[in-house]
Amino acid sequence: MPHAPALLVLDMQNAALAIAHRPMETIATIALLRERARAANVPVVTVQHDGPGLEPGTEAWRIVPELAPGEGEKTVRKGSADAFLDSDLGPFLSGLGITEMVVTGFATEFCVDTTARQALSRGYDLVLVADGHTTSARPDVDGFVASDRAVLHHNAIYRHINFLARSIRVLPAADVDFTAPQAPDHA
């Protein structure tokens, strides 16, 4: 099957921006990566979370303006941390023949992690964009690690996850190449 990536932008909504760690840096990174995906004719899929405090149509629910989907780009609505669960994401990707998910967004240890693992379980190769995901801004309290450490921790985990017959790479946005598959990156 030929290499066919899709860029996934998870939950970059106004409510997330209000509580995110390094929100402007993450938005800028994803916006540049999205422009490169578009230039390479790679589908960009924006995922939008519905739920308490994120009711459709509210300002909190809206995608941040810098990452609003372009004309003709797919938006997927979800109600859990898993972007595949009870959504049309899987059928949409299958219909396009997608083989690799390039994952970005909010929140690292919840929706980003859950969706990335589901992508692997569903047969997709994975690129976790090391500087393209973030979590909530918080100190090292209440059982959660500090924000910087959470992002670094998940990047390290994905560098060491081993999934048979899957390529898993953790790359900074600048190193993401939408044109050619790479050999698996397992340490």
pLDDT per residue as tens digits for the range 54-65: 999 999 999 999
Choose among 74, 73, 47, 55: nearest CA to 15.
55
Gap between the Cα atoms of 137 and 74, Å rounded: 29
Which residues in the chain show pLDDT less than 70? Answer: 140, 180-187
Q: What pLDDT does 97 receive?
A: 97
Helix, coil or strand: residue 127: strand
Q: What pLDDT does 100 receive?
A: 97
Q: What pLDDT does 186 receive?
A: 46
Q: What pLDDT does 71 receive?
A: 94
Q: What pLDDT does 138 receive?
A: 81
Q: What pLDDT does 145 receive?
A: 86
Burial-class residue 85 by CB neighbours within 10 Å (0-12, 13-18, 19+). Answer: middle
